[in-house]
A and B are shown apart, each in its own frame.
Chain A
């Protein structure tokens, strides 16, 4: 790995280097930012990656297609199910099999639940990053309900590995519909409370409004995806323009805010949670009953060729790109992770802000570092 050398000769007087991370409470894991500071003002940001690199892409080349799914849990662990789904969809594309309708609905339901869980965690941590510690506990209380649903369904709470090529691992638990239906009104009730606790607070508004502005043009040229792009007014929801699983049969809005600042990104995620609830509500009552697994061979071999599948994770556009040479292992697997391209925007928008604002910006960009590093 290329070593980043701190060249103090380039510094102007008054400036100094500040090593933010890999162990730092605000970098949400092991992201390392080398900051050039002038007092408290950030002059330059240089991300240094590789602290949690596990060569998942390389490992994929040595695993069978069914095993790859378990590796993807560990990329963006907060949208584990959506990662699984992406790989499963890519493999199904290659095998040219049609999965049962039930599987499609289950995957979409799980995906949206995962998105809500991820956004809830983000909301809790967002509050902590700007100093409001209580939000974390509230968010975790409600996220726990989703985790319980996941646990009941497939035994795992976070790294679920629930989708498999051709279907899902287990059928839904009999309690599933009841619990999800209990969760929907609960979240509808608590989100206004969240707004009351954090969003409406005058200090929070001052911290968020107009800070970390990402313009429409920059969002496109830097490759921002997901809520970050949508906070800058860029239409980028994969669920909308390339629907997968059961997303083509539901009505939902793509949440767009045009301001491009912290508050816009914050609002996008808050509204997305409600929109995900809408999607779940439309699907939960009529889950078709036609099996949970399409017929696949025990040893999957994709035909020679290249396969791409894009999905919308909680962080944005995840691309799974598989090159197959017809053997039981893929020739090459590439994940285009949303976190990595969103990290680009931090370098642009973080400059010139105070260190406290940088922390808030990192928080609204919602990094999961294992997703950036893979």
Chain B
């Protein structure tokens, strides 16, 4: 693990190992506590996003949404999670047990690993690795395995079609998303997430990179929506066609993990977009830079931006129809990918001649 400069989580671990003098035992305890924080964040953020989605959907659809359990219905999703926890697990006969059951662990692991390198604020990242962008691209593509496993292991043709669609979709759109990220990495000259954010103190990359950065941002949103399997690219689930797609045969917590992971993936995509394009935790025009409690403002701006991105993706979901599988692939291979490739060359030229702001 590379612990650079200043990091709240590293300080915490150091406090247990050195501050209290517990040595290796303290260090391990620190790691466990950090892991627990992330797990709690995973569950709470997932549940909150489910709640948010239901509320947003309700407002798009002339409804009220959940408003009975707790204030404004905030505890509705927690009640749902409790229900799912206590449900009997029902699966298909003759399923591939190993693949079937490993699927939902992989989806959590992939989501948590991606989450761990995202800086929520200055010094708020569990692993501020110097290859952050690359790391996220790598581990988030592990997530596709879970969907493939779930689709194949379920012994259900609908699940299988969903899994195969997802394989096609995620592998295709990863290219575009990766290229869009690389465009920014070219500007930043680093793969470290916190470093990328700090470089944007003079201006967010989406403005500094002229038109290529804007195009990259657009491509990233499209590809990101596709990678998190959301409408208009929710073909792996495609409820009208496939029932529930790859998680048709999961019940109880198995289903809940997939469900939560979908929302966490949306959070990760949004967080990536915010970090690389929209200045991460930095406030617009530095309006809160000289106020106290900087950690609070960091978190505030980061989550506000992420919320806006997520809201945009929810907006897509509740207004767009779903594309067809051939249209999906046409969009990627005939339009997004060539545009992304040209875009990255343009950006390279801009950077080489030092034309970026």
Contact = CB atoms under 8 A, between A and B. Distances in A.
Contacts, number: 81
B2 interface: no
A201 B241 contact: no
B259 interface: no
A206 B328 CA distance: 11
B243 A24 contact: yes
B232 interface: yes
A302 interface: no
Nearest to A138: B62
Interface string B307-337: 0000000000111111111110000000000
Given A25-B243, A356-B238, A359-B241, A131 B321 contact: yes
A138 B241 CA distance: 22
Nearest to A24: B243
A198 B321 contact: yes
Contacts of A127: 321
Interface in B9-28: none
A128 B232 CA distance: 12
A357 interface: yes
Contact of A203 (B232, B234, B238, B318): B232
Nearest to A129: B240
B61 A207 contact: no
Interface residues of A, number: 31
Interface string B286-322: 0000000000000000000000000000000111111
Contacts of B235: 356
Contact of B321 (A16, A19, A26, A204): A204
A299 to B, nearest CB: 49
A59 interface: no
Interface string A3-21: 0000000000000101100
Contacts of A207: 321, 323-324, 327
Give the interface SS of chain A, mostly helix, strand, loop or mixed. Answer: helix
A16 B318 contact: no
Contact of A355 (B57, B161, B239): B161
Interface string A173-207: 00000000000000000000000011001011011
B240 A128 contact: yes
A130 interface: yes
A137 B320 contact: no
B60 interface: yes
Nearest to B61: A137
A67 interface: no
B61 A134 contact: yes
A16 B157 contact: yes
A357 B319 CA distance: 19
A356 B241 contact: yes
Interface string A107-137: 0000000000000000000011111111011
A130 B137 CA distance: 31
A282 B326 CA distance: 47
B321 A203 contact: yes
28 contacts: A16-B157, A25-B239, A26-B240, A26-B241, A40-B165, A129-B240, A130-B321, A131-B231, A131-B232, A131-B320, A131-B321, A132-B320, A132-B322, A133-B318, A134-B318, A198-B321, A201-B320, A203-B232, A203-B320, A203-B321, A203-B327, A204-B321, A206-B324, A207-B327, A354-B326, A356-B235, A356-B241, A356-B325
The 9 closest A-B pairs by CB, nearest first: A131-B322, A137-B61, A132-B321, A130-B321, A131-B321, A129-B240, A204-B321, A356-B324, A26-B240
Interface of B: 57, 60-63, 157-158, 161, 165, 231-232, 234-235, 238-241, 243, 317-327
Given A203-B232, A356-B322, A356-B325, 17 more contacts: A16-B157, A40-B161, A127-B321, A129-B240, A130-B321, A131-B321, A132-B319, A133-B317, A133-B318, A134-B60, A134-B61, A141-B62, A201-B321, A203-B323, A206-B327, A207-B321, A354-B326
